[in-house]
């Protein structure tokens, strides 16, 4: 059912992803409609849009999560389609239904597909039927402690209790011995009930320190499905991804094809359309196991764009308008290597505590071969109402080593003052021997935190250097004032001082 390309598209999101989507809209000649909460009246995404509508007060529950307010704004603006971005209502079945019922196009899979894949036990049943490898476990929910004990014994401890309505790591509990089972089962149930309003749980064998690898897929409305290769997302903290890369340093061409084929089968079995991500765990013997399907555009999609040359948002919009994909999986050969560092307003040295405040100085890095997807500008306020993601810094290189070199250079150029960010943390990861060697797992940050903290590496010499740098800092401040007074002053490059200063202070 091909229809004419949209003239106007509403973006039901904020921050960097709203701007990212609007950029493609502009390239395609589609007018973009922003929605915003009171806190975002002057936000970057509002300024970028062709048209903007206020949808309510600052708390997300009363604005970006308000289905009524968003449908109302879409109707008022005359938008023909809605792109949900990620988070907020992106995987909300009711929202997808309401968009369709309002005569508009939801840019994503069908509501039935979102519902099917949102239920993790249903998704497992579906994948099992399709022959996609699963982590040993069960496909139905636990009814009694007795039954849980018996199934746990059949595949052995440790086991993992997961919420059927969960995903993204919420409501999971590791059980190491039968004696803990009853208690943890009860706990997991009440947590699931609290978080999702649904206390159904199931069991899987717990894989220790696996890698998290996901495959990007695209599927058009005629059932043509392509896989765009994998992203390695093992560098994470409490289920929040921190660094992603594509291709994965451990996936070779053969494994890529096998995982890709499994992802295509997964998509086929769910009658999938639009862009999606099939998540897998990879164990030390390079066995891969299906985890879940994310039915949205993901935060880390740019690294796939960098190595495939495809604009995923453009493909999403084309698919939603009924156009056919013009590529096959065999056309996709990842070119070079891309890395993404998520720049969060968080303090890595205070357990990644969110940092709110006003951005006083803001200087973004620039090419060659680096990309910044950001949602904030100088003088903007980072509030605690929303996700602390400020921007994503992406680098590309002909190989992983060059992508790392470019990432280091770009991180050095990135200056954000007024709030604490994860820039310094990323600089230390990019210099970490284990990261450089590609020796990754989902436990990387926990295991290496001691050597990744800003002060961990401070030796006697470094402390001495701190004193010197304090003087340098004072000197630079004075020099800057002199330069401002006398613009013809020569040799006012502060670069080498700043780099050393940042090396020691860690930001
Ligand atoms: C697992 C697992 C180990 N064994 N399942 C976390 C997010 C959710 N999608 C599933 N997750 C996991 N499921 C089994 N059977 C370990 C994780 C996991 C994880 C997965 C992906 C990325 C980061 C993670 C961090 C901790 C645990």
Residue of higher predicted confidence among 324 and 476: 324
Q: The domain that contains 173 carries what CATH number?
A: 3.30.1490.20
Residues 261 and 410 in one domain: yes
Residues 199 and 232 in one domain: no
Residue 204: CB within 6 Å of ligand 1?
A: yes
Residues 173 and 221 in one domain: no
Distance from C-alpha of 469 to C-alpha of 57, rounded to nearest angstrom? 45
Residues 411 and 464 in one domain: no
Residues 50 and 161 in one domain: no
Contacting residues for 219 by C-beta, under 8 A, at least 6 apart: 225, 226, 267, 272, 273, 274, 276, 319, 325
Count Cβ atoms within 10 A of the Cβ of residue 313 and give its class: 0-12 exposed, 13-18 middle, 19 or more buried. Answer: buried
479 lies in a domain?
yes
Q: Which atom of ligand 1 is nearest to the CA of 206?
A: 4
Residue 168: CB within 6 Å of ligand 1?
A: yes
pLDDT at 219 over 80: yes
The answer to whether the CB of 161 falls within 8 A of the CB of 203 is: yes
Contacting residues for 308 by C-beta, under 8 A, at least 6 apart: 228, 229, 332, 334, 335
318 lies in a domain?
yes
Torsion angle defined by CA atoms of residues 133, 139, 145 and 150, in that order, rounded to the nearest 10 degrees? -50
279-298: b (≥16 Cβ within 10 Å) or e: bbbbeeeeebbbbbbbbbbb
Distance from C-alpha of 387 to C-alpha of 379, rounded to nearest angstrom? 18
Specify the pLDDT at position 140.
87
113 lies in a domain?
no
Q: What is the pLDDT of residues 425-436, one digit of tens each?
A: 999 999 999 999
Specify the pLDDT at position 142.
93
**What is the maximum alpha-carbon separation in the chain?**
82
Which of the listed residues 182, 205, 228 is the one where a domain comes to its end?
205
Q: What is the pLDDT of residues 239-288, one digit of tens each?
A: 999 999 999 999 999 999 999 999 999 999 999 999 999 999 999 999 99
Specify the pLDDT at position 473.
76
pLDDT at 56 over 80: yes
Specify the pLDDT at position 139.
86
Residues 32 and 166 in one domain: no
Residue with the smallest CA separation from ligand 1 atom 16 is 207
Run of H or E residues at 342: strand 337-344
Which of the listed residues 162, 190, 205 is the one where a domain comes to its end?
205
Write down the pTM of the prediction.
Answer: 0.92
Residue with the smallest CA separation from ligand 1 atom 17 is 169
Residue with the smallest CA separation from ligand 1 atom 6 is 169
State the pLDDT confidence band at 507, using cuts at 50, 70 and 90: low
Residue 291: CB within 6 Å of ligand 1?
A: yes
Distance from C-alpha of 187 to C-alpha of 182, rounded to nearest angstrom? 9
Specify the pLDDT at position 110.
98
Verify whether residue 371 is a known catalytic residue: no
Residues 411 and 383 in one domain: yes
Owning domain of residue 482: 460-505
Q: The domain that contains 14 carries what CATH number?
A: 3.40.50.20
Q: Which atom of ligand 1 is nearest to the CA of 204?
A: 15
Report the 10 Å Cβ neighbour count for 455: 11
129 lies in a domain?
no
Distance from C-alpha of 219 to C-alpha of 211, rounded to nearest angstrom? 26
Structure tokens at 194: 């609290």
Taking residues 200-210, what's their average pLDDT? Answer: 94
409 CA from centroid of ligand 1 (Å) = 32
Specify the pLDDT at position 109.
98
114 lies in a domain?
no
Report the 10 Å Cβ neighbour count for 79: 27
Residues 297 and 444 in one domain: yes
Residue 441: CB within 6 Å of ligand 1?
A: no
Specify the pLDDT at position 496.
67
Specify the pLDDT at position 169.
73
State the pLDDT confidence band at 506, using cuts at 50, 70 and 90: low
Q: What is the pLDDT of residues 146-178, one digit of tens each?
A: 999 999 999 899 999 999 998 777 779 999 999
Specify the pLDDT at position 454.
82
Task: Quote the number of domains for the chain.
Answer: 4
Distance from C-alpha of 334 to C-alpha of 48, rounded to nearest angstrom? 31
Residues 406 and 299 in one domain: yes
Residue 442: CB within 6 Å of ligand 1?
A: yes
Taking residues 372-382, what's their average pLDDT? Answer: 97
- The single residue listed with the structure tokens 């308008």 is 321
- Look at 298-302, 362-366, 401-405, 487-491 and tell me which has the smallest mean pLDDT: 487-491
171 lies in a domain?
yes
Specify the pLDDT at position 230.
98
239-256: b (≥16 Cβ within 10 Å) or e: ebbbbbbbbbebbeeebb
Residues 92 and 153 in one domain: no
Candidates 339, 227, 213, 204; CA nearest to 283 is: 213
Specify the pLDDT at position 218.
98
Residues 277 and 180 in one domain: no
> What does the mean pLDDT of the chain come to?
93
State the pLDDT confidence band at 466, using cuts at 50, 70 and 90: confident
- Return the percentage of the chain with pLDDT > 70, whole number: 94
Distance from C-alpha of 73 to C-alpha of 66, rounded to nearest angstrom? 11
Torsion angle defined by CA atoms of residues 185, 189, 191 and 197, in that order, rounded to the nearest 10 degrees? 170
Residues 328 and 473 in one domain: no
Which of the listed residues 184, 205, 226 is the one where a domain comes to its end?
205
Q: Which of 14, 98, 124, 296 is flagged as catalytic?
A: 296
State the pLDDT confidence band at 477, using cuts at 50, 70 and 90: confident
117 lies in a domain?
no
Q: The domain that contains 410 carries what CATH number?
A: 3.30.470.20
414 lies in a domain?
yes
Counting every residue, how long is the chain? 507
């Amino acid at each position: 059912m091909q229809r004419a390309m949209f003239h106007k598209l509403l973006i039901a999101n904020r921050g960097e992803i709203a701007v990212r989507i609007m950029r493609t809209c502009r390239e395609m000649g589609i007018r973009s409609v922003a929605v915003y909460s009171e806190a975002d009246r002057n936000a970057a995404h509002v300024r970028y849009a062709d048209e903007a509508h206020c949808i309510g007060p600052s708390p997300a529950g009363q604005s970006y999560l308000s289905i009524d307010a968003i449908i109302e704004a879409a109707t008022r603006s005359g938008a023909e389609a809605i792109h949900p971005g990620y988070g907020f209502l992106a995987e909300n079945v009711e929202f997808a239904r309401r968009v369709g019922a309002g005569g508009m196009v939801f840019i994503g899979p069908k509501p039935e597909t979102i519902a099917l894949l949102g239920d993790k036990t249903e998704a497992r049943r579906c994948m099992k039927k399709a022959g996609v490898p699963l982590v040993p476990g069960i496909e139905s929910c636990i009814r009694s402690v007795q039954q849980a004990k018996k199934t746990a014994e059949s595949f052995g401890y440790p086991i993992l209790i997961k919420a059927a309505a969960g995903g993204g790591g919420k409501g999971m509990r590791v059980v190491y011995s039968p004696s803990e089972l009853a208690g943890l089962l009860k706990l997991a149930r009440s947590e699931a009930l609290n978080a999702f309003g649904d206390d159904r749980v199931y069991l899987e064998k717990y894989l220790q320190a696996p890698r998290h690898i996901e495959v990007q897929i695209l599927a058009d409305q005629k059932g043509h499905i392509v896989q765009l290769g994998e992203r390695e997302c093992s560098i994470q903290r409490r289920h929040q991804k921190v660094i992603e890369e594509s291709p994965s340093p451990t996936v070779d061409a053969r494994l890529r094809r096998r995982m890709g084929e499994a992802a295509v089968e997964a998509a086929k079995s769910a009658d999938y359309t639009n862009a999606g991500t099939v998540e897998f765990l990879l164990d030390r013997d390079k066995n891969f196991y299906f985890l879940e399907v994310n039915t949205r555009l993901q935060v880390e999609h740019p690294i796939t764009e960098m190595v495939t040359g495809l604009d995923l948002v453009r493909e999403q919009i084309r698919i939603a308008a009924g156009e056919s994909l013009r590529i096959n999986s065999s056309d996709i050969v990842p070119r070079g290597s891309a890395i993404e560092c998520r720049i969060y307003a968080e303090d890595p040295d205070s357990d990644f505590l969110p940092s709110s405040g006003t951005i006083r100085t803001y200087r973004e890095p620039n090419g060659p071969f680096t990309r910044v997807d950001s949602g904030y500008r100088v003088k903007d306020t980072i509030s605690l109402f929303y996700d602390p993601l400020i921007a994503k810094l992406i680098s590309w290189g002909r190989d992983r080593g060059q992508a790392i070199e470019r990432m280091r250079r770009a991180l050095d150029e990135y200056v954000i003052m007024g709030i604490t960010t994860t820039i310094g943390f990323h600089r230390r990861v990019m210099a970490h021997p284990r990261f450089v060697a590609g020796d990754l797992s989902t436990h990387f940050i926990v295991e290496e935190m001691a050597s990744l903290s800003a002060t961990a590496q401070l030796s006697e010499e470094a402390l001495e250097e701190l004193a010197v740098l304090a003087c340098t800092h004072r000197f630079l401040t004075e020099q800057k004032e002199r330069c401002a007074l006398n613009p013809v002053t020569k040799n006012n490059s502060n670069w080498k001082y700043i780099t050393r200063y940042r090396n020691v202070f860690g930001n």
